[in-house]
Structure 1
Amino acid sequence: MTPEQARDKIIFALDVHGLADIDRWAAQLAGHVGMFKVGKELFTSCGPEAVKTVQRHGGKVFLDLKYHDIPNTVAKAMVEAARLGVQLANLHALGGEEMMATAAATVRKEFGDERPRLLAVTILTSSTAETLRQVGIERPVEEMVVRLARLAKDSGMDGVVASPLEIESIRAACGPDFLIVTPGVRPSFASLDDQKRVMTPAEAVTAGADYLVIGRPIAKAGDPVAASRMIVDEIAGGCP
């Protein structure tokens, strides 16, 4: 794998608090990571300007808002995400087949090939078997993740967001062209912080991940650009 290919797999999590912070990180890391993740907190605080600030520096965006509502509402929200020019946008697979299929069909009709790739969140990485039981789901987490990934694919979604531990089973169930975006990745040089179930970037890519969401190992490094380069080297050196 070339360094450029390895770089493009890295999505930097913009876990910051305002437009000035976005501007600083985008200016520093554009060209060193493949994409920037804008999540709920940041989008609620800054709105679409969060996306536009990244784009002004030439950065690509994963809009991580995890829509979950009635089908028509989610479809309209996904269309607005596409209008922002983001590369990835997501919803919750637990919203069901009709919700996902309506969103996928609406975005494709409106934008054709010039659209973001649409992802479904399977089971949140914070969820446990007990979490699922509390809402009436008796199946094991791992089984539900694969079940929802298949449903997402059948509904017209381009891929899923899932933990590193489910990469191989999703890849086996959904095929080589189905996108897998995974958090819970820690480079070999970084602290695990509060993460318990993790993989290194090279392990995750080798297992079948297409994109890796990485935040603190870059953001907390003394030299974030150098940390990004180390991750690129780790992926490129550890993957064929």
Structure 2
Amino acid sequence: MELKDAVVVVSGANRGLGRHLAAQLVERGAKVYAAARRPETVDVPGAVPLALDVTDQQSVRAAARIASDATLLVNNAGISTAATLITGDLDAVRREMETNFFGPLATTRAFAPVIEANGGGAVLNVLSVLSWLHPAGLGSYAASKAAAWAQTDAVREELAPRGITVSALHVGYMDTDMASGVSADQKADPADVAAQALAGIEQGLPEILADDTSRQVKQNLATAPNAA
């Protein structure tokens, strides 16, 4: 997909990876709707702030009406509560699933007809290496991203006949607010991850593996899990 002159909606564009994606898309000549629950927090030069709460159906429908010229949807908005599945707060588990699974599903359902009507385009779902790697301490987040990975694969097949490609971005820890409490030796630069994601969209890649951790974990998916 050619990104110059594309019309892009980026959710969660007010900080972190989403902000880098929005800024780089503007630099590439795209029209960018930088979406956030509080659009007044968006500070991406050249982008159009757009109110969007992916957990609110009315907000999603309103955003699709406003961005009726969209040809690319970037499902970047997400949360991490660090809830575990057995002893963690169940409301937190539900909140992660609502945001990380049902959120991108709602926006994709709303924008697919828009993108199709505009001649086709693409959807990018920002996932995680934890789509495939499921540590107990991040059980809720990992479960939501695993579900979003399955969603991405199914939606890719469903939307292909409508001229819409669907890509998944997988990455480990990035140097963003979400991972501020994680002591990882190396965190990926979100600007570099954004550049890889956009290159993958241009190439029509179904999966974009943005760091060595994701590539290694994906390669080892066939390995049996360790016994507890």
* TM class by smaller structure: 0.3 to 0.5
TM-score under structure 2 normalisation? 0.38
Give the TM-score normalised by the residue count of structure 1.
0.36
